[in-house]
Amino acid sequence: MDILPYLPKEQQELILNGPALAPPANTTSNFDNRPNKDGLAHGAFAVCLFFATFSFFVRIYARAVRTKRLRIEDACTIVAYGCYIGFIYCAYRLMAEYGYFIHQWDLRVRDLIEISYILHVGGVLYSITLPMLKSAILLEWSRIFVPLGTRNAFWWICVALICIQLLLMVGSVVSLCLTCIPYQKIWNITLPGKCIDKSKIEITTAAIHLASDLVILSLPQRVIWNLQMSVKQRLGVSVIFSLGVLACVSAAFRLAVTVQYSTADDLIYAVSSVILWALAEMTCGFIVVGMPTAPKALYETGLATRIREGFKSWTGKSSSAKSSTNLSTFSSYTPKSPNPSSLYQKLDENGMPLRGLKHSPSTESTEHLREYKQRPNAAIVRTTQVSTTEDYDYNGEVGSEQFQRQHPWRAKK
């Protein structure tokens, strides 16, 4: 292919319309109806996209809605999710145009131009997504496990790993974009220019990601097991922060298939495994970022109760248990009818509704509640302002006057 740009136009067209790889003996190229495994790829994409999206929005809900504050790690997660969606688009575009696990001899040479472009864009997005996710994880863990203002070994390791990830991101993106000069020759084989073997870059990047995943997995365990908690509680926390083992497994397979891809003759067939394991690796990163906040978010939104009740109904069990209410709003509160003879109304832990109260002549309050024809279910209808003052008798004047009143026969000093 190196001499293709220098051939006459007629010969270029002849080569571009031919098979991208010589087929094996007794095999004929099938350009129109290529055998593939698109069903496997589509299922993997759907599962990964669901878990990544669920984890991402659970985290954003926990931050933006519950705490109403976004930090640097949340910005990193948002950037990572945007790049992840771009990677998903590239993956689906490759499937729609050509397919997965197809043999290279079932493709024309000209098809390699678009495939190389899709793979290049996807590789750049992958090189941004993973470092952003790992930086977000490390930033959050440095807040969780390190006391404010402390610079211990855990904190310095997090800082070092973040620096490594950011340098790796910049280096990977720049290296992938400079594998060929001019830049367009990375995917356009008809252009003259020079290229280097990018397989070494891909293998090195995959190896560094695997090593960093192992360090991140083991980093919080020592802190967790030194907490003043029961063994059961420490085990539960340890399991939550051990979800990174999924990322380690995916990174290990990603490294293995990348090595195989670098030495394969049928590159298009081999790259399918690389794409799937890269997608799994990024998805595991989102799970590590978002899942620790999932239980509380699901409980607060009432989704966990609805899922549990739906499962009970599906399995034929009684679902007459009381449904969970949303702790963060008053909209789900149903007030109990107060006893007319009582001046008090029992309130539960879900809120303090201020409706249905009437002024009683027997109370000492001089504030009267307004009557509304259409009062909203959740509204503040009355506020009370309390002011307090404190006086100090620094010179003893009050004490002297009081003493004089109680002892008038004593002469005033």
pLDDT digits (tens, 9 = 90+) for 239-256: 777 778 888 999 999 999
30 in a domain, yes or no?
no
195 in a domain, yes or no?
yes
Highest averaged pLDDT of the listed ranges 52-61, 239-248, 275-284: 275-284
User: Band of the pLDDT at 33, cuts 50, 70, 90?
Assistant: confident
Q: Distance between CA 118 and CA 128 in Å, rounded?
A: 16
Q: Which residue has the higher pLDDT, 127 or 342?
A: 127
The structure's pTM equals 0.71
- The per-residue pLDDT for range 156-171, each reduced to its tens digit, is 999 999 999 999 999 9
Among 191-200, 256-265, 290-299, 403-412, the range scoring the smallest mean pLDDT is 403-412
Q: Distance between CA 319 and CA 309 in Å, rounded?
A: 6
Count Cα atoms within 13 angstroms, Cβ side, for 182.
6
Region of 274 (left: φ > 0; alpha: ψ -120 to 50; beta: rest) is: alpha
Among 50-64, 90-104, 243-257, the range scoring the smallest mean pLDDT is 50-64
Region of 142 (left: φ > 0; alpha: ψ -120 to 50; beta: rest) is: alpha
Q: Looking at residue 46, what is its pLDDT?
A: 95
Which amino acid, 317?
K
For 247-281, give the DSSP string: HHHHHHHHHHHHHHHHH-S-HHHHHHHHHHHHHHH
- Residue 189 — φ and ψ, nearest 5°? -75, -5
Do the beta carbons of residue 221 and residue 230 sit within 8 Å?
A: no
Looking at the structure of the chain, the number of domains it has is 1
Q: Buried (b) or exposed (e) across 89-108, using 16+ Cβ within 10 A?
A: ebbeebbeebbbbbbbbbbe
Tokens standing for residue 175 = 């290296």
DSSP, collapsed to helix, strand or coil, labels residue 79 as helix
Q: Looking at residue 399, what is its pLDDT?
A: 61
Handedness of CA 158, 160, 161, 162 (dihedral sign): positive
Q: Which of 235, 252, 246 is nearest to 284 (CA)?
A: 246
- Residue 181 sits in a domain whose CATH number is 1.20.1070
DSSP, collapsed to helix, strand or coil, labels residue 68 as coil
Q: Distance between CA 252 and CA 214 in Å, rounded?
A: 10
Q: Looking at residue 218, what is its pLDDT?
A: 86
Average pLDDT over residues 213-219: 89
Q: Looking at residue 387, what is its pLDDT?
A: 74
Range of the domain at 276: 4-19+37-301
Q: Distance between CA 276 and CA 101 in Å, rounded?
A: 11
113 in a domain, yes or no?
yes
388 in a domain, yes or no?
no
308 in a domain, yes or no?
no
246 in a domain, yes or no?
yes
DSSP, collapsed to helix, strand or coil, labels residue 108 as strand
375 in a domain, yes or no?
no
Do the beta carbons of residue 240 and residue 291 sit within 8 Å?
A: yes
Element (H, E) at 159: helix 153-177
280 in a domain, yes or no?
yes
